[in-house]
């Protein structure tokens, strides 16, 4: 059986869509508990939950409100079923999501977690495959033909050292591994980039399962943490650099292996693909990856000064004209 954790925050309309996708799961019979935890001082989410009386919903109300890491820590302590799935209230699953995840985990006892590719939804355009799939693609040996891949630990590092490559709303994990990984992530105190820490913790040492077929839709909107002023003030790429350094300090030898793997995999793929795989990393992350870890990531070309000589009328060069003006008068 599986427990589904849905943290929510004053978004009843989004929550309704998320719960509808839980109800529509082909593996709905394996859902033992759906935990909806409100952390926004609003009871509107409780009213939405009453619309889904056919689901085994456990409603929690955080009072007073807690920060994101404290909320994650509280949810990680729930231990009702052997599997745990996470779904953010502003995202939703395709009907096969839990079935695909549970089949992969049931068949591979050593694998502790499953993630999936996903479609990204903006209000102004149709859903599209997120660019992080490029990083998993190169980590998987540039082969997305299998519907489910099994990535070893070094391959997970390849994908995750560059940028976020796995999304919480696609995560299904064994509860006895999800809890310590989440608590360890919370102990790190990273409130913005922890979705790069948790997958690595879950992947050590046996790797991850990954669906190349998108099984979730991730909604992009102005209320997300990555769009908040605090994130911009601290500097997104500095935070990402600190996260990559945290990973390197914890697994130094494996990170060296990841750099070697990455460099071999991207050899000859062309500048356009290398730029996509590199995650469009900005400074100081790009320099850290290249100079300290040894990743051959894409770097923007250095602008060169033009050495073209400018000429004035009658073929007189500009520098000759200046020399004439500076010459002493007779």
pLDDT at 108: 95
pLDDT for res 149: 96
Burial class (CB in 10 A: 0-12, 13-18, 19+), 52: middle
Give me the mean pLDDT over the 82-100 stretch. Answer: 97
Task: Give the lowest-confidence range in 6-15, 118-127, 208-217, 287-296.
Answer: 118-127
pLDDT higher for 28 or 227? 28
Task: Tell me 111's DSSP state.
Answer: -
The two tokens of residue 240 are 């990402």
Residue 229 confidence (pLDDT): 59
Question: CB neighbours of 133 closer than 8 A, spacing ≥ 6?
Answer: 117, 144, 212
pLDDT in tens, 250-265: 999 999 999 999 999 9
> Look-up: residue for tokens 């994650």?
72
* 143 neighbors 167 (Cβ within 8 angstroms): no
Report the pLDDT value the prediction gives residue 254, as an integer from 0 to 100: 98
CATH of 2-130+167-227, one of 3.90.550.10, 3.40.1710.10, 3.40.50.10490, 3.40.50.150: 3.90.550.10
Per residue in 10-55, pLDDT tens?
Answer: 999 999 999 999 999 999 999 999 999 999 989 999 999 999 999 9
Across the range 277-289, mean pLDDT stands at: 84
24-47 residues labelled b (16+ CB within 10 A) or e (exposed): ebebeeebebbbbbbbbeeeebee
Give me the pLDDT at residue 105, please.
Answer: 97
Of all residues in the chain, the percent with pLDDT exceeding 90 is 74
In the chain, residues under CATH classification 3.90.550.10 are 2-130+167-227
Taking the C-alpha atoms of residue 330 and residue 315, their distance in angstroms, rounded to an integer, is 25
For 106-161, the pLDDT digits (tens) are: 999 999 999 999 999 887 677 788 888 999 999 999 999 999 999 999 999 999 99
Each residue of 243-253: pLDDT tens digit?
999 999 999 99
CB 105 within 8 A of CB 209: yes
Q: Where are the alpha helices (DSSP H) in the chain?
A: 12-23, 44-50, 68-76, 97-107, 133-139, 153-162, 175-187, 197-203, 229-234, 236-250, 252-266, 271-277, 285-287, 318-326
Of the listed ranges 89-103, 148-162, 169-183, 211-225, the least confidently predicted one is 211-225
Statement: residue 318 has pLDDT above 80 = no
Q: Is the pTM above the cut of 0.75?
A: yes
Angle between helix 252-266 and 153-162 (nearest 10): 80
Who's near 273: CB < 8 A, 6+ residues apart?
134, 266
How is residue 21 written in tokens? 């996708």
Q: What is the pLDDT of residue 126?
A: 76
Q: pLDDT-derived band of residue 78, with 50, 70 and 90 as boundaries? A: very high
CB of 83 within 8 A of CB of 175? yes
217 forms beta bridges with: 92, 119
Model confidence at 209: pLDDT above 50: yes
% of the chain at pLDDT higher than 70? 85
Whole-number pLDDT of residue 312: 47
Rg (CA), the chain: 25
Please state the length of the chain.
330
Output the pLDDT for position 70.
Answer: 96
d(CA 329, CA 16): 86
């Amino acid at each position: 059986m599986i427990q589904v954790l849905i943290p929510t925050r004053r978004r009843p309309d989004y929550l309704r869509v998320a719960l509808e996708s839980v109800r529509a799961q082909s593996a709905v019979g394996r859902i033992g508990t759906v935990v909806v935890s409100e952390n926004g001082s609003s009871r509107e989410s409780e009213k939405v939950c009453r619309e889904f009386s056919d689901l085994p919903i456990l409603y929690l109300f955080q009072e007073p409100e807690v920060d994101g890491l404290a909320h994650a820590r509280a949810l990680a302590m729930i231990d009702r079923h052997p599997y745990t799935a996470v779904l953010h209230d502003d995202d939703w699953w395709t009907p096969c999501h839990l079935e695909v995840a549970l089949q992969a985990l049931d068949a591979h006892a050593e694998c502790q977690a499953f993630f999936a590719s996903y479609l990204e939804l903006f209000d102004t355009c149709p859903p599209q495959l997120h660019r992080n799939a490029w990083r998993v693609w190169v980590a998987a040996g540039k082969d997305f033909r299998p519907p489910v891949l099994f990535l070893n630990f070094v391959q997970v590092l390849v994908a995750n050292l560059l940028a976020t490559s796995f999304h919480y709303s696609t995560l299904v994990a064994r509860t006895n591994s999800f809890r310590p990984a989440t608590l360890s992530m919370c102990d790190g105190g990273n409130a913005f980039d922890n979705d790069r820490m948790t997958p690595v913790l879950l992947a050590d040492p046996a790797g991850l399962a990954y669906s190349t077929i998108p099984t979730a839709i991730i909604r992009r909107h102005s209320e997300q943490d990555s769009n908040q002023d605090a994130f911009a003030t601290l500097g997104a790429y500095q935070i990402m650099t600190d996260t990559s350094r945290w990973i390197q300090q914890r697994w130094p030898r494996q990170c060296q292996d990841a750099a070697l793997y990455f460099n071999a995999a991207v050899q000859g793929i062309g500048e356009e693909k290398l730029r996509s795989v590199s995650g469009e990393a900005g400074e100081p992350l790009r320099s850290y990856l290249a100079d300290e870890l040894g990743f051959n990531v894409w770097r923007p070309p250095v602008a060169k000064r033009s050495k073209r000589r400018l000429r004035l009328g009658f073929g007189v060069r500009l520098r000759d004209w200046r020399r004439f003006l500076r010459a002493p008068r007779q």
